């Protein structure tokens, strides 16, 4: 499973990192750490567009760990 640390990055960078990883085709599961609530929403929208599911594994304030799974 690929892990991405996107903490400290502002939109749209976390989403672009997630999109690049999903489109690379090397992993079916990707874990991403973010510290901006809007990033979770943006990554979720991008994932939906290209056939992936997003699950929030943990959330504490603006910090969150999300998992992307290929459908």
Rule CB under 8 A: say whether 7 interacts with other proteins: no
Radius of gyration of the chain (CA): 11
Binding residue (CB under 8 A) for other proteins from 2, 7, 9, 16: 16
H or E element, residue 39 = helix 37-49
Range 41-60, binding other proteins (CB under 8 A)? 41-42, 45-46, 49
| Measured distance CA(26)–CA(61) in Å, rounded | 31
Binding residue (CB under 8 A) for other proteins from 4, 6, 19, 22: 19
The answer to whether 66 touches 32, Cβ cutoff 8 Å, is yes
Site for other proteins (CB under 8 A): how many residues?
12
> Footprint of other proteins on this chain (CB under 8 A)?
11-13, 15-16, 19, 38, 41-42, 45-46, 49
């Amino acid at each position: 499973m690929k892990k991405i640390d996107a903490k400290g990055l502002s939109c749209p960078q976390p989403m672009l990192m997630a999109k690049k990883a999903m489109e690379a085709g090397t992993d079916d599961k990707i874990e991403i750490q973010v510290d901006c609530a809007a990033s979770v929403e943006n990554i979720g929208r991008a994932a939906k567009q290209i056939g992936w599911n997003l699950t929030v594994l943990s959330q504490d304030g603006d910090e969150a760990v999300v998992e992307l799974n290929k459908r």
